[in-house]
Structure 1
């Protein structure tokens, strides 16, 4: 059975990747879905002034909170899944998580900014593609479809 890791950050773009994973399984792909979220590590100041275990627990709790809507989508589809929360820089941590979990594929949402703007700003999805030893599918957010009003049709 395939293991598909889906990067989740609480955004609508990440939910696009979750929907894509659910659609793959509904179409017959035998796969276990793994929702993965990466939290930034605590700053040196935070570590020096607060309990490290308390900070780690808060990070895991925040990650679980940000995965709530993705979890709801998968539960509504009645599919089995796992969750993982990592701490660190997003792209390399996601790749490490995918390797450790034995994932065969990594799904990640994309902003679709275009090549020039993305090159200037950097992109987690592009970094994941570059670093990952497993295939990566970048799920683009669908373009909104403009619907005409009935009043406009009559003109």
Structure 2
């Protein structure tokens, strides 16, 4: 079993990462891909049209988004792959899951996106519609700090 865990640095995404680690604690053999997607950097493109600079900026932002989830997996001694993508988040997450031959996707219901107030985040909703594999939307327990 190989699971892509969508991470954007939000508390909800960390709940999804912790949920994945519970499978390992319960004795299941699971491989993980921690993935984050940076939306297109139009502002950066205007300031620094150099592709190499844009890649470094996107990589730095992506690394920050992944840092807490990676720390959880490292502390638990659970190996993982990491992916930093760029583009439309839902489509890219689905593409990354396909490329890594994942059998499922775990993600938080609400992330750092612009529509945080909606009942279910727009990225989560789009991944549910587009993915060919099961998608698990992980809710944090009320009042529990991830």
TM-score by length of 1: 0.82
How many positions carry a matched residue from both structures? 139
Corresponding residue for residue 110 of structure 1: 109
By relative contact order (CA 8 Å, sep 6+), the higher-ranking structure is 2
- RMSD of aligned alpha carbons: 2.2
The list of structure 1 runs, each at least 4 consecutive aligned residues, that deviate by more than 6 angstroms after superposition, is none
The answer to whether the Cα contact below 8 Å between 1:4 and 1:103 also exists between their aligned partners in 2 is yes
Corresponding residue for residue 5 of structure 2: 6
Unaligned runs of 5+ in 1: 146-155
Corresponding residue for residue 40 of structure 2: 41
Which whole-Å CA distance do the structure 1 matches of 2:76 and 2:24 have between them? 10
**Is the alpha carbon distance of 1:49 and 1:59 closer, same or farther for their aligned partners in structure 2, counting shifts above 3 Å?**
closer
| Structure having the higher Rg | 1
Unaligned runs of 5+ in 2: 112-117
**Is the alpha carbon distance of 1:47 and 1:99 closer, same or farther for their aligned partners in structure 2, counting shifts above 3 Å?**
farther
The Cα of 1:94 is off from its aligned counterpart by: 0.4
The answer to whether the Cα contact below 8 Å between 1:16 and 1:139 also exists between their aligned partners in 2 is yes
**Is the alpha carbon distance of 1:133 and 1:48 closer, same or farther for their aligned partners in structure 2, counting shifts above 3 Å?**
same
